[in-house]
Amino acid sequence: MTRKLFGTDGVRGRANTYPMTAEMALKLGAAAGEFFRTDGRNGHRVVIGKDTRRSGYMLETALTAGLASTGMNVLLLGPVPTPAVGFLTRSMRADLGIMISASHNPYDDNGIKFFGPDGFKLSDEAEAEIERIVAGPVPLAEAERIGSAKRIDDARGRYVEYVKTTFPGRGALGGLKVVVDCANGAAYKAAPEALWELGAEVIALGVAPNGFNINAGVGSTHPEACAARVLAEGADLGITLDGDADRVMLIDENGQIADGDQIMALFAARWAEEGRLAQNTLVATVMSNLGLERFLGGRGIRLERTPVGDRYVVEAMRRGGWNLGGEQSGHIVMTDYATTGDGLIAGLQFLGEMARTGRRASELVHSFDRVPQLLRNVRYGQGKEPLKAPEVQAVIAAQEARLSGSGRLLIRKSGTEPLVRVMAECTDEALLAEVVGTIVAEIEARV
């Protein structure tokens, strides 16, 4: 079955507009309950977390009603990072986990992500089956089988305590000044708490959510805010998360920004030296820079590329038995520690490397020189399919031929927004700009 509701990261859209309405959330909750509650009993449980968007209250309530109507018992976690939902789904022996978040998007978007009992995001097949159930009548539980709902007051504390166990050496952050930017999002309490309890001097940024300011000028999509604070405070490191804290960018003491590619390069090289990198392989998406691929190749480390989306990275890691992967955008997936990207754990691993080596962040954040890369987005209207136009396809083929041997071209539709993403890499920056500009102009003529 072709999925219409689900994109690359659950169901997502503008709040209070299809499909992000209370009505659809109720239907999704009931369908998920029907899918996971297989024996007609009330022993089944689901955990629900959310970020700090105002619309999260509405969707949380609707999901709870739908789930309870099919006999699922709901455990409400409140604002917690997406990786906390993955962890707590498994830790609390839940049958299902749900995170209400649109990640790095602005406040007026929201989304619903599902996790299986193993803490990993659901497969395409499972999401397609839930979508099939949504389309028809969902059997409701008998009155005596309606599920319950309750708040879990210590959800954040459980996650913080686990995160601290992933850091190599408690208290080793003493003497380090760390700026942590929580994007006014889901980690606004958890991240500063974990860092402070591990001994760091913490300067918190983006920790005053009001329901409307998530990702607004702060967080991993606006790392310049954290960089400025690092310089102003004379901090040793900046850790900047996105709205649901599954992404991270790092800032060294000079304000230099390290994206996911640089972080993965450091971790892969270190883990390979220690014999910890499973099958000497790193998993990354087609968006990761050619510089990363060349850096890894020079160290005998294999790069496995996947489609864009951390779910596809994780699926490849599970199939291949690999334990490190991620995205240039800052998802760092370490299956030794978490079932999805975890920005806080990635930041702690970097701090652990600083503590272990005694080196400054600036000596660790730059592992390779990037091949010049240019990405431009073109927004298109409803019902439009600009990439199917023969004229666009012809221009793409011609520009791809121009890059042959000196770079690469990647053009794709976003899985979460009505955007065409045009990305190219080339050592000749003038050619790079010309190639991307030519393709963008042709696409824009048909949107």
- Which residue is catalytic, options 101, 103, 288, 367? 103
Q: State both tokens at 130.
A: 């839930």
Residue type, 155: A
Q: What's the first-to-final CA gap in the chain, in angstroms?
A: 28
Report the distance separating Cα 283 and Cα 327, nearest Å: 9
Beta bridge partners of 420: 378, 413
Q: State both tokens at 102.
A: 């649109």
Segment (H or E) for 270: helix 260-274
Residue found by looking up tokens 């996105």 in the block: 242
b/e per residue, 429-439, with b = 16+ CB within 10 A?
eebbeebbebb
Report the distance separating Cα 149 and Cα 78, nearest Å: 13
By DSSP bridging, strand 73-79 and strand 149-151 are parallel
Q: Environment class of residue 305 by beta-carbon count within 10 Å: exposed (0-12), middle (13-18) or buried (19+)?
A: middle
Report the distance separating Cα 299 and Cα 206, nearest Å: 38
Contact yes or no for 373/425 (Cβ under 8 A): yes
**Interhelix angle 343-357/260-274, nearest 10 degrees:** 60
Beta bridge partners of 237: 178
Residue found by looking up tokens 């606004």 in the block: 188
Which DSSP string do the residues of 115-168 spell out, in sequence order?
Answer: E-TTSSBPPHHHHHHHHHHHTSPPPPPPGGG---EEE-TTHHHHHHHHHHHTSS
CA separation (Å) from 257 to 10, 42, 285? 29, 49, 20
Contact yes or no for 113/81 (Cβ under 8 A): no
The per-type count for the chain, helices as H runs and strands as E runs, is: 13, 18
Q: Degrees (nearest 5) of the Cα angle 156, 159, 161?
A: 110
* 220 counts as catalytic: no
Contact yes or no for 247/341 (Cβ under 8 A): yes
Give the DSSP letter of residue 372: P
Q: Environment class of residue 370 by beta-carbon count within 10 Å: exposed (0-12), middle (13-18) or buried (19+)?
A: middle
Farthest-apart Cα atoms in the chain, separation? 70
Q: Which residues are catalytic?
A: 103
